[in-house]
Amino acid sequence: MLTKYLSLIKFSHTVFALPFAVIGFFMGTMMMDYHFDFYLLVKVLLCMVFARSAAMAFNRYLDRDIDRENPRTKNREIPAGILPEKQVLLFVGVNAALFILTTYFINLLCFFLSPVALLVILGYSYTKRFTAFCHLVLGVGLGLAPVGAYLAVTGSFHFLPVLLGLAVFFWVSGFDIIYALQDEEFDQSHQLKSIPAALGKKNALFVSRLLHLCSALFLTLFTYQATEIFSELQWLLILGYGLFLSMLVYQHTLVNEKDLSRVNLAFFTFNGLASVAFGLFFIADVYLL
């Protein structure tokens, strides 16, 4: 049963946002003079898992009828009859409640902001029904990861995790457009909204490149400001920054409007590698040098 739920929520995709949440946590730790709290890190990671599990399961529940008609998604857990609808909805409620409960044991600011975070990540599932900017809402949801983790440690806002959150926002929005290319015709025929459905594949790819250019700019600002604020951050962070940008550029060489055969390679493999590499090099720069 556990494997069915892990498949439902695509647990392996947690790798996209999790490294940035960990970076936000360690930025907060550095701001607090390296007062490392292992149990707080566990609570931050649990928040990430609970929030994402609720969001993914809700998306699958809400889209169950659409998924039944789409040849690409008809074998997902609900349309294939692997998991009952009511059971999935209960799973959403449990994870949402556990997310809010966990934030209570972090600090009051995170607790009071937790419904706002849930509103964004659960609300995303509705957006494809009324706006082509649904990709941007997904970007906001994942872009909250470093900001929320920083708040968990410090209980206050700072522009540095916001810069990283903006880089994540544009990065996620851009690669979600690439992923949505696969459903352009289906979305158009079922009155569903997306950038590819609205603009066509070629123009959608252009928009994706613009968003990734914005991501690169904000990641550059973040990297520069991080090395200015934290003198111990040096060449490993810059190396991670370079790897991230390289993979950002490379994924656009894998996909064009006439060949979508490598969309999954661009979406899953290189975006996952990019986030993990940047996170690992950031942490290594903090603790190894």
Q: What pLDDT is attached to residue 241?
A: 94
**pLDDT for residue 12:** 60
Summarised one tens digit per residue, pLDDT across range 81-103 is 888 999 999 999 999 999 999 99
pLDDT (0 to 100) of residue 286: 82
**Res. 143: pLDDT tops 90:** yes
Q: What is the share, in percent, of the chain residues with pLDDT greater than 90?
A: 71
- Break the chain into its structural domains and give their ranges: 2-288
What is residue 28's predicted lDDT score, i.e. its pLDDT?
94
Residue closest to 244 by CA, chosen among 232, 255, 236: 236
Between residues 12 and 202, which one has the greater pLDDT? 202
**Residue whose entry in the numeric block shows the structure tokens 């090395």:** 227
Helix (H, G, I), strand (E, B) or coil at 22: helix
- Of 43-47, 76-80, 184-188, the range with the lowest mean pLDDT is 76-80
pLDDT above 70 for 11: no
Q: pLDDT confidence of 2, banded at 50, 70, 90?
A: low
- Region of residue 81 (left: phi > 0; alpha: psi -120 to 50; beta: else): left
Q: Which CATH architecture has domain 2-288?
A: Orthogonal Bundle (1.10)
Query: Does the pLDDT of residue 289 top 60, yes or no?
Result: no
Element (H, E) at 133: none
Question: Average pLDDT in the 161-170 region?
Answer: 97
pLDDT at 228: 87
DSSP states along 33-92 = TS---HHHHHHHHHHHHHHHHHHHHHHHHHTHHHHHH-TTTTTSTTTTTSS-HHHHHHHH
User: Across the strands, what pairs with 256?
Assistant: 259
- Model pLDDT for residues 220-260, shown as the tens digit of each residue: 999 999 988 887 678 889 999 999 999 899 888 888 888 77
Residue 186 has pLDDT above 80, yes or no: yes
Q: Measured over all CA atoms, what is the biggest interatomic distance in the chain, rounded to whole angstroms?
A: 56
Contact 111, 103 (CB under 8 A): yes
What is the model's pLDDT at position 155? Answer: 93
Percent with pLDDT over 70 in the chain: 93
Q: Write the pLDDT tens digit of every residue in 12-69.
A: 667 778 999 999 999 999 988 878 899 999 999 999 999 999 999 999 999 999 999 9
User: How much is the mean pLDDT over the chain?
Assistant: 90
Q: pLDDT band for 264, please (50, 70, 90 cuts).
A: confident
pLDDT for res 29:
92
pLDDT at 265: 66
